[in-house]
Amino acid sequence: MVRFVDVPNMRRWLIDTGIERAISGIAETLEADFLRWEEFDKTARVASHSTVGVIELMPASDGRQYGFKYVNGHPDNPARGLQTVTAFGVLADVDSGYPTLWAEMTILTALRTAATSAMVARALAPAGATTMAMIGTGSQAEFQALGFRALLGIRSLRIWDTDPHAMDVFEANMRPLGVEVVRASGAADAVEGAQIITTCTADKTNATVLTDDMVAPGVHLNAIGGDCPGKTELDPRILLRGDIFVEYPPQTRIEGEIQQLDPEHPVTEMWRVLRGEATGRTSDEQITIFDSVGFAIEDFAALRYLASAVDGTDYCTDIDIIAEPEDPKNLFALVAQGAAAPSLT
């Protein structure tokens, strides 16, 4: 039997746990996994592109557990009432190869992306940051806002989205939570006075949601929307002014903002910064850029956290997905009744 966390159970678990507590827990697991980065069997995700979107598989293993996520990205989905991103994931036992947990990950991905962004910003953002600009207020936005409040104490947000409805939704969701939300008149207005800028838009194009003049010295840029070949958000001049931090270079070179740069352009792996083996922020004037595309170890950590959180609770059910004949060399016994004698064939 494999434990299964469907959407209703994920919702119930998250509501009972609290979103900020869950993001903080995932961030803790995530940081522990970043600190043992070298133990992982890592691979760039396997993407299947179509004209309307992408479907990806993201596997990772630490030699004891194996995990993967299925995730799609379809920017035109909301126009017909569907989610841009949906996801599910599996954990398995490396020793036996048997799956152990299957979980919805549309909601869990939002949590792990917020946890990753906030964990990285805690290491790179200027000390004493109080205000974050958010360019793009889609489905990820509230989770980002709560992640930055939980880990960095950010309580003032300046938002901008080309879709006024997305801003309406965000404001309505955040206002009751004691977060100050200022609705800007454009991206340039949104970044005014912000020490952190999060870009998270969905268009599968080389867009420029932030131009070079909008990025003041000292800012930390949390660039999470550019995550696909041909899908970027930043003016490349910003990238040349700042120091760039990434998850897994072989994947980010293909998918991240740095696809716009020379393939040899220097980047720093974030796990090295967390381990103290590479420098992060070194001055008040420095622009730090987290060119985040989402990496499999983050999903692995989120699944690992979820597995231990739901273990022994009723937030998961058992599903029968592993054929287990009494004699392991006799799989046929399970279906022998379906084999007919020659007179019947």
- Touching a second copy, residues 194-233 (CB under 8 A): none
Which range, of 56-64, 181-189, 266-274, 300-308, touches a second copy by CB under 8 A? 56-64
The answer to whether residues 112 and 187 touch, using CB atoms and an 8 Å cutoff, is no
202, HSE (Cβ side, Cα atoms, 13 Å): 23
Element (H, E) at 174: helix 164-174
Shortest Å distance, C-beta 115 to a second copy: 15
Position among 53, 218, 229, 236 found at the interface with a second copy (CB under 8 A): 53
Site string for a second copy, 131-150 (x = CB under 8 A): -------xxxxxx--x--xx
Structure token digits, residue 320: 């029968």
Site string for a second copy, 171-200 (x = CB under 8 A): --x--xxx----------------------
Q: Determine the Cα–Cα distance for residues 26 and 28; give it in Å rounded to an integer.
A: 5
Position among 32, 39, 48, 193 found at the interface with a second copy (CB under 8 A): 48
Report the residue number, 77 or 206, with the smaller CB distance to a second copy.
Answer: 77
Structure token digits, residue 219: 């800012």
Number of residues binding to a second copy, judged by CB under 8 A: 97
81 binds a second copy (CB under 8 A): yes
Token look-up 């979820």 returns: 306
Report the residue number, 240 or 322, with the smaller CB distance to a second copy.
Answer: 322
Report the residue number, 125 or 150, with the smaller CB distance to a second copy.
Answer: 150
59 binds a second copy (CB under 8 A): yes
Shortest Å distance, C-beta 322 to a second copy: 5
The 8 Å CB, 24+ separation contacts for 57-63 are 58/294, 58/295, 58/296, 58/299, 59/296, 60/295, 60/296, 60/297, 60/299, 60/300, 61/94, 61/300, 62/33, 62/36, 62/300, 63/39, 63/94
Catalytic status, residue 291: no
283 binds a second copy (CB under 8 A): no
314 binds a second copy (CB under 8 A): no
Which range, of 6-14, 191-199, 221-229, 270-278, touches a second copy by CB under 8 A? 6-14
The answer to whether residues 247 and 226 touch, using CB atoms and an 8 Å cutoff, is no
- Touching a second copy, residues 321-340 (CB under 8 A): 321-325, 327-340
Query: At 65, phi and psi to the nearest 5?
Result: -120, 150
The answer to whether residues 182 and 158 touch, using CB atoms and an 8 Å cutoff, is yes
Catalytic residues: 227
